[in-house]
Every structure is written in structure tokens, then in C-alpha cells.
Chain A
């Protein structure tokens, strides 16, 4: 075991809330049905917008006749793309650090041409959603169908007609990387294994759909936007920029949010249209996506085809990895984070857990006439992990080595840090071997293997799969800022002692159900020395919180938490100065515990309520040159490493019914290392939720399109989200390697579950099917794929 021991700090105080599963402060409100989601918001004169959407994947808009629709009951306005373009400027989803990335201007509502099924071509605003839908059916749009390029390989084929003629081809972005001596490594190899891995397009199905209420107030020339978003300040900037407003004229309020998973961190045409319509019509306008709209316009993700090769020696040494990844991203790169990040991440992460020096990668990102793709939970990780771990298993099979043994021989040693991967990723400190040994003990690997052999003789085919992974968390400005995006990589927290002795923390991170509010409260309570129930957290309001990035890319605890920690410690020092003045002693001789100022012996001397009373109401009793400062603000951005990489390993036990092709998930294990665990229950459930989404990708989720670019299953009956009945028990454990870059030492935990789940299951299925000589390299692993692989159907 390599758990690092660090000297005792304030985090380890006896009354610390760090590392404890305390109840979430927002739980009571949500369970009472008193949450405030955007759907709950209703404003005077509020109108509802419904979008008329293109039924074609690629079509010229010949004409739009709204005369009949305008006569509809309750109709306020029917607005076309050209009309709205006068209010809202188009955007281009590129970043300068992704060299060569190109994308055409995208409008809030299509102008002249629709490029995917579901792209809005007109907006109907009416007094109610139902009336707007009635009128939308009466908008007559004449289309001229254009050639459809739906498949990514068709888009990339030589001579393919470009979707955007000015670009000359359909390649949005291409990246190549060649490190070490790859050809020589393959030439020296005792064995080479290769495969083409196919990852279906899927999406992150949030319980609450995307929703927004925009309220332009002409009297104060100010726009208030209620939105279920992960990044309120980013939205404030973008809305202001494209509506021609100063940032100070835009307030973004983000109250309760019903799940995000990365879906709600992007700029959607519908949202921009809604804010523009509010400004145009000078009244509040609401848009809540319905389920069909969500499937057609929420960002999709994955949709990769990745060829991979691995070179290995007989002794198990992996000599080189090589990949060639293609992905289709729809007709536009999504603004402002771009749709090249996932492919870029695949290049960055393949081979990442292993001490392999030779690596060659190519990634191509294609335009196509499907819905756009962008960053969804664990961006690129499941692809990189499935390719890497799939290749490692194939390499092990090629040389007749146990999958665990080949990992033991190649995982970066736990004592090699700081280290760097072949792709150039910098690791402060990881714990691959400790995690692997821990998971093997949890699952009793040897017993599972014995059981597998025994059952196989009875015609029962079980499999065990392992997947080690690395995870990008706590991103610095290297992620977006350096590319020119105004997306903050720092976060801020302001912590104050109020007049009653309670603590209030304003934080720039947001809560979407994962417990951000709880961990900030825990951190602040510990930093100050106050009881948790006396801490209140305010978030999600650009008028009322410090400037910051929000909650995405597993940054809330590690970055927002650190800012809150530092602000809390600063407030503590300020409080102790007041206490020292009152008690006529040195601040260094005092501490705060349980809401009381205590002396060196731990005896309570004066309460926080009394400090507040004196500071706020009887400052005349303090020394004449003393001014109490009972609010402290701190900001934090990681600077030493571009990302705080974490690591972990997952394992799956499955059974394949070889008569029906159905895969049954029996058990699943995760060991991960997110550094300091602030709230073990929240981290464990975050991991479990992530695993479930990864298992969804492994077995079920798939946005199915036909060759004409029509999505075939844009509903909850046909798009299969993972459900409880099919999920295995998921056991979670941790190795804790705190980052030394921050005082708190927390890294992120949001991607880990999703990063490795599909890889573990795919390896387990192939392990189960080994007696049939069948290997499957595609997810979701449908029963039909299994039956075809073993030759039961053809």
C-alpha cells in the first residue's frame, strides 16, 4: 500500500467534518418538494416558446409562411432565424489551442439551411406551451432537401461532398502524435494485437430536461436568466456578448438543477433563442425542452471508431500503443468548449496508466448531418480506457498471460512520481498498484477464476474483466482558458460571520444534485471551526457569488472546495483577532471549535455569537485602532499541474447466456483515488452513478440513426437508459493520495465511474466468450452482437 502519510493538519482536527458522511443541507427542501427548478418559475407576462424543427437532416429553407400560425390562439410572435439574427449574433465553436479546428458560424435559429433533424428553423411564442405547440403545427416551411452525410466514414471519405462547402472537406479537426520509436517497437514485438473498437453515439439523459426562463427588463435595461446550467458566469458572458450587452446587464440565476452530466455546460441554440426572444419581445420567455427535443438537440457524445494496436514482448512488457480514432460531431463544433475535446482527450489518455514510451495516435473529427456532440461525463475517458484496456487484454491473450499479471508488469510504479505519460500527461502522484491490489482482494480474484472454471464445465459462461484508468480532474486554464474561451478555471468563495454568529458562504461553484452544497458546507465548517448546522451556502447567482467556473470536469470539490477552505481559514484568523482583542490575549493562543473560541487547553472562552454581537453592535468596546473584518474572500486556481490526474481500477463479473446472447451483470467493483475524500457517501454515490452511466453505454444506450440522418429512437421507450433492475451491486473503495498542490488535497471524482465501467464489462464479456473464440469490440454489447459473435445467428 502506498497511502501517503502527511503531517496532521487542520483537516484532521477531532471536530473535522472532512471525511465524514454528513447529511446534505439541501436534502430536506428537495424531499419536501420545495426545490426550485426552472420549470417551477413563473413570472408575470411570461410567454412560452416552442421551436419548429427541421424534419430533414440537411435541407435548404425555401420559405417560411407563418401567417396562419400567427392567427393561433394565444400567439405572441412567430420569429424566423433571419429575424432573430438581428438580436443575437452567431457564434463559432473553436478554440485556438486546438490547432486547425474549424466550424462555421451557428445561429440561434437556422438561417437558410438546416443541417440536422431537430435544428430549429422558427420560434413560436405564445401564452402557453400548448398554444405554442398548436401554432407551431401551423407554420408552413418549404424545404429543398440537400444530400445527407450521416456516417462519419462517408464524411471522411476522399472526395466526399463537404457539408460546409467553404471548408472544402468535412474534417473539423485532426491531431497526430508520434512519441518514441513506434515502428521499431512493433518490429521488436513478440506479439501484436489489434482491433477496431466501435463506440455508439449516446447522450446523458438528465432527469430534468434543459430549461431556461429569460426576463428582459427594458426599464432597467437588464436581462435576468433562470437556467439549469453548470456554468452561470460563462453563460453570463456569452449571453451578453451575443445580445450586444455589457456583462453587468446580465444576471444568471441557477437554482435547483436535476442532473447535468456535462449536458448543461454548453451553449444551446434554443437557449440563445429564448434570451434573444425575451429581449425582442420585452417580456419573460420560457423554454423547457420536452423529451423528444432533448434527444434531438441535447448534445450527444462518443460515436467513435478507433483502430488500435499494441506491441508486447513474451515477458509481458508492453512496448507501444498505436491508435487511429475517428468521430462524427454533427454539423457544428459546439460553442464555446468545442466538439474536438473528446477526440483530443482520447489521444491524451490512451496508454495513460502504463509505463510505455512509444505511442502514435491520430484522431480525426468529422462534420456530419446528425445532432451535435460535445462533452459529456468522462469526456474521452471511456473510449481511451476501453481501447487501452481492450488492447492490454488482447496482448495478454496473445502471449498467454493473465490479465492481472500483465497489468502488474506495466502499470506505472507507485513510487515513480512525478511522472509523465507518453502522451505528455503530467502525473503528480498516482496509486495504480495499490488500487489494483485492493480491488483484487475485494473481489477475491482467485476465487472468481476458480468459480469460472467450475461453471464453464456446466455450460455456464462467466467472465471477469479489469480496467485500470486515469481521470482528468481539477482542470487549470490549460483546458479552455489558453484557447481563448472566457471560461474561468478559478473559483472564489466569500465566507462571513453574520450578526447572529452563523456562517454564510457564497461560492462560485454550482449544485446539480451531486452534493456541491454539502461539501462546501463541510469544508467551511471545518475551516472556521463552526458547527455544520450553522453554515449556509449560497450558490448559483452571478449577482451574489464570486466569479468562477462552476461545476464541471470534476472541479467543484478540488477547486471550489479549496477556495472555500482558504476563505474559511482566513475568516477564522479574522475572528480570532477579534477574540484576542476581546479576551486581551494573543490570537495564536486561541482556536475555534464547535462554534466556541477555545483556549490552548480547549476550554470555551466565548461563543461566535458573542464575537458577532460585539463586533457588529458594540465596536465601541474594542480597542480604538481595531477594526473587525468578519468576511473573507479567497480564490483558487490550480497552477502547478494542468490537471490533477486521479487513477483507479474497475472490475466486472458477468454471465453471458449463450443461448439468448443476454449479458447479466453480476457484480462490479471500483477502487479509485480522488485524493482527500471530503464526504465518503457522496463520493461513493458519485462513483456508483458514474458506473451506472458507464454500464448504460456498455449494454444499452445508443442514439440510433438511419442513413438519412433520422434518429430512430428519440424517446424513453426505445432509448434504453440503464435501470435498477439490470444493475449489479457496485462496491466502492478508495486509496487516498491527496494532491500537494492544495491544502485540502481533494481531486475530482465525477468521471471515474463512467471512465472504466464499459471497459471492465467488455473485457469480462470477451473473457466469458473465450471458449468460443469470439471477441467483440463494439458497445453497446447487445444480445444480437453476442449471438452473432458466437455464431448462433448469422
Chain B
């Protein structure tokens, strides 16, 4: 199929982009890597009057150290994230997760900000943002606001971004030297969207894990924190009973729907397997 007609603009400044977006109204769309929007256009699932290409906005590029944390520009491509030594050192969860995002050709084009703003419930990066307690920096003509990942993802392809707003960067808070990570995902083929996956973080404290954040994807309409399972792990040692207890809590934490990819029972089962793999990883790293 061919995309319906739309106006295309490639502004040179953020101000101009925000003005174009505001003028375009509710249905105006931002394009960066185009890995989600272009197929949607060609399938005529989206018919925006104007597409604002933010690819020329240099301030939205780059990965910087901010204090002990990170600031990742919205235009940072997946491939760049995967190669970044800074990310690998400060936030290895992202380095691990990015290897599961689609295929190299898509990673060369797709952007970090684009994946978060797209908010596919089966995508890896929104769950990572949630596990990392990331802060979304959102710009509009009335200025900048900061939205916690927790509040950013609102539903299937739905975020806190209002009409006229652009996600410009993401801040990953300082994670501390003892923060450990685990990532697991099940997809039918390498690079596919997940049936179920998990991004987990916890702090190594003596022989125990503290303050775990366990974010699932593919289990609902948005990435979801498994709070009860996390509570079961918080402060506990590495033993079979804790693991079993945490896994059992998932039925309370998650309410996956049945769709043509997997049944509810299948998703819950795989969520349990993903959790156990993530716990293994947290302990392996903590050892």
C-alpha cells in the first residue's frame, strides 16, 4: 500500500518543530527513525495532515553523563545505544535489552525516543525505562516538563505526551555501584516483539537483593511493574522458596490478555520463566 498524502516538514530548530506540531493539530505526527510510523502510514493506519521530521534537531542527539546518571537524547539510535561504552558502564540493562530490539537494519534507523513515544506494550525499551525509573523530558511551546516513566505509559500506543509535545530526552537517574540488572525475553523468532519479557533491577546488599524493580512487557496494555513479586524478593536471600513465592505473586501482579499470539495461561507461565531467568541474572551479577 501507499501512504495517504501528508505534508512533510523538517524544521531546523526545536522551536520551529514545536510550532509546526502545534499548527498541525491533534493528528500531526512526529517522525524520527520512522520504523513504526512509516509502516503505519503505508498500511493507512495513520493519516496525519502533517509529519514533522525532527531528524535535524541536533540538541536531541547524544548520550551524556549527568552526575552519576545518564541523559539520552530522543534521537539516539538503537545501534548507537548498543555501541555506547558509557551506557554499558552505567546502565548495562539497556545494552542487554537493545540486542533484542528488532534487527540490525531497524536498529540502525530506529531511535530510543521513538520507541518510548510509540509505547508498544510488547516493546523492550519502555519496560527498561520503567525498571530504571527513568524521567522523560517533554517539550512543548509552553516549556519543558518531566514525566516519570511510571506515569508516561498510559496504554497501547498511548503515552502522557499531549498534542504539540515532543519527547526530547530521557534521564536515567544515578543507579549506584551496587545496582544489578536482569533481562529476559521470549519471542517466537529472534528480533520479534516479545510474547513476554522482563527488565529487572535490584541493589546488591550483603547477601540480599534490595529495592527490586521488575517491569514486564507483553503482559498488558503497557509495561507493568510486578510489585508483589518485587516485594517478595526485597531483602530476601537466593533460595528456592523466595523464588517460588515471587513467581506465585505474578498472578496478582499481571493480568495478561489472551490474543492470537498466546493464551493468558501461556503468558503467565512465560512471565514466571522470565522472572526466574531475571532473578538468576540478578544473583549471577551480584555474586
Q: CB within 8 Å of B: which residues of A? A: 128-130, 133-134, 137, 290, 292, 659-660, 662, 700, 704, 712-713, 715, 717-718, 720, 723, 725-726, 782-784, 787, 792-794
Contacts and interface: CB of A to CB of B under 8 A. Distances in A.
A290 B263 CA distance: 30
A662 B2 CA distance: 37
A129 B2 contact: yes
Contacts of B266: 783-784, 787, 793
A134 B190 CA distance: 36
A715 B193 CA distance: 14
A713 B189 contact: no
Interface of B: 1-5, 43-44, 186, 188-193, 195, 260-263, 265-266, 269-270, 273
Contacts of A292: 1, 43
A741 B1 CA distance: 49
Given A130-B2, A133-B2, A712-B260, A793 B189 contact: no
A715 B1 CA distance: 12
A660 B260 CA distance: 18
A726 B262 contact: no
B202 to A, nearest CB: 22
Nearest to A780: B188
B154 to A, nearest CB: 23
Most chain B CB neighbours (cut-off 10 Å) among A292, A720, A792, A793? A793
A691 to B, nearest CB: 17
Nearest to A131: B2
Most chain B CB neighbours (cut-off 10 Å) among A292, A660, A782, A794? A660
Contact of A660 (B44, B261, B273): B273
A784 B260 CA distance: 12
B186 A133 contact: no
B1 A726 contact: no
A interface: dominant SS: loop
A662 B186 contact: yes
A162 to B, nearest CB: 29
Contacts of B192: 717, 720
Given A700-B189, A720-B189, 5 more contacts: A137-B44, A720-B192, A726-B189, A784-B266, A794-B265
A720 B2 CA distance: 23
A718 B191 CA distance: 12
A660 B262 CA distance: 13
Given A660-B270, A784-B262, A133 B1 contact: yes
Contacts of B261: 718
A717 to B, nearest CB: 7
B186 A660 contact: yes
B274 to A, nearest CB: 9
Contacts of B186: 660, 662, 783
Contacts of A660: 186, 270, 273
Most chain A CB neighbours (cut-off 10 Å) among B44, B266, B273? B266
B260 A713 contact: yes
A290 B188 contact: no
A133 B189 contact: no
Contacts of A712: 260
Nearest to A660: B273
Given A704-B260, A784-B263, A133 B44 contact: yes
Nearest to A716: B39
Contacts of A134: 4-5
13 contacts: A130-B2, A133-B2, A134-B5, A660-B270, A700-B189, A704-B260, A717-B192, A718-B260, A723-B190, A783-B195, A783-B266, A787-B266, A792-B269
A723 B192 CA distance: 11
B102 to A, nearest CB: 10
B190 A793 contact: no
A128 B3 CA distance: 12
Nearest to A792: B269
Contacts of B191: 723, 725
Contacts of B189: 700, 720, 723, 725-726
A793 to B, nearest CB: 4
8 interchain residue pairs of minimum CB distance: A725-B190, A130-B2, A793-B265, A784-B266, A712-B260, A793-B269, A290-B1, A129-B2
A726 B190 contact: yes
B175 to A, nearest CB: 29
A181 B1 CA distance: 57
A150 to B, nearest CB: 15
A128 B273 CA distance: 51
A765 to B, nearest CB: 16
Contact of A720 (B5, B188, B262, B269): B188
A759 to B, nearest CB: 21
Contacts of A704: 260
B267 to A, nearest CB: 10
A783 B263 CA distance: 11
Contacts of A787: 266, 269
Nearest to A713: B260
Contacts of B262: 784
